[in-house]
Amino acid sequence: DAGVTQSPTHLIKTRGQHVTLRCSPISGHKSVSWYQQVLGQGPQFIFQYYEKEERGRGNFPDRFSARQFPNYSSELNVNALLLGDSALYLCASSLFGQGAGGYTFGSGTRLTVV
C-alpha cells in the first residue's frame, strides 16, 4: 500500500513568488493536515481538512491557503513567499478527523526561498 505521497520533494523559489505543494493521503484516509517544520523545531500546525472542509487553521498568515479535493488529495498554497517560509512542509493523513488510527506523515517538501 502506498503511504502518504508529497510532491515535489525539493523546491527553490524566489521571494515574492508563490508555491503549490501537493499531498496524496493513504487510500481510504479522509483527513489531511499540513505542518511546517523549521530547522531545529518541531512541526507546527497549518491546516486540517476533513471530508473536503477546513476543520482547523493554525497561526499562519492569510498568504497560506489550502484545499482538499473529492479524491481527498490536498494542495497547500503559499503566496508572496518570504525567506522565513523556508522549511520542510509535512502532510499527515488520518482515517477520520481525529487521529484514532494515528497520523501518518509523508516525507515532506523541502522549500527553500532565496
Partner 1 sequence: EDKVVQSPLSLVVHEGDTVTLNCSYEVTNFRSLLWYKQEKKAPTFLFMLTSSGIEKKSGRLSSILDKKELFSILNITATQTGDSAVYLCAVELGAGSYQLTFGKGTKLSVIP
- Residues forming contacts to partner 1 in the complex (CB under 8 A) are 4, 31, 33, 35, 40-45, 48, 55-58, 88, 90, 92, 94, 97-99, 102-108, 110
Q: How far is CA 72 from the centre of its chain?
A: 13
Residue carrying C-alpha cell 503559499 = 78
Nearer to partner 1, 9 or 17 (CB): 9
Q: How far is the CB of 41 from partner 1 (least distance, A)?
A: 6
Q: How far is the CB of 3 from partner 1 (least distance, A)?
A: 8
Q: Distance between terminal CA atoms of the chain? A: 37
Nearer to partner 1, 64 or 105 (CB): 105
Q: How far is the CB of 78 from partner 1 (least distance, A)?
A: 19
